[in-house]
Homo-oligomer: A and B are copies of this chain.
């Protein structure tokens, strides 16, 4: 059955698999010190285009969030996130497992509300009891957000300025970063992100890799003894090559961006299928995730022909569902979706 259930339904981009096969028998050093990791880091730094950056690889999104947040926060600090943020809701308490609180603030369209952030930090600074509260040490945002939305350059700058004002670091979760950068409706570049954030990651798992996220520290701020801290969290792969070869491939000849653009194109076409048939959207998303409000009975019927993701109840008779494209989505998939929507076989 055709599936739009998520952006991790397929393996890796075929070029990635090919390179894994080609390099497979080369004897390489372990733990990320091999030449492919080195090469991938170099290419990513070039793509980011900012001096003084450092790159490290981790295996998955929740792991990356927990490792970055817990190694960059001081003992007494907490991280701020939108109450819809991935770390607030869908990581099984992974950040809290490292001993740090996630302070959930209001969101707008899935994006952290900069007014709420400003008010929180201002009030915190003025609070006589602030020594009895975890001290905000980092702001976490995701881009695209969990709802597929994007921060504009101005919005990101605003949050970045607030963080600077309060000497708080800004961390951008880019699990789907490619799909954000290659949206037709964004003015935010990779370079901007490196400029405004202290640390961010370029998601691989959802954008062409079997697994892997590339963390970019943007101002010489990689935590000391980071490898030891990664190991301590059980997050160090013996065969670092698995991550190195994948990111080396993705950042050769712009593959990461090309396949992200493909997903965007597929999403736009998919969106058009829904729009032209009068479907209602839960939110206006310019990226690969589209959220549709389905009448429950129709949802049940559609389930028989196409796979998609349950998101949340809308009301007693409607449900919000997610259709996601990815680098692996094909025209055939869209055709199958179109037929399903039209009730054809």
Contact = CB atoms under 8 A, between A and B. Distances in A.
Given A75-B232, A210-B239, A235-B63, A96 B101 contact: yes
Interface residues of A, number: 88
B237 A60 contact: yes
Contacts of A210: 20, 239, 242
A167 B275 CA distance: 44
A44 interface: no
A97 B27 contact: no
A312 B67 CA distance: 31
A12 B28 CA distance: 12
Contact of A313 (B61, B97, B123): B123
A239 B131 contact: no
Interface of A: 2-3, 5-6, 8-12, 14, 17-18, 20-21, 23-31, 59-67, 70-71, 74-76, 78, 89-94, 96-102, 104, 123, 126, 128-129, 131-135, 205-206, 210-211, 223-225, 227-229, 231-239, 241-242, 307, 309-310, 312-313, 328
Given A60-B236, A60-B238, A98-B99, 7 more contacts: A8-B238, A12-B24, A14-B24, A93-B100, A126-B313, A131-B228, A233-B233
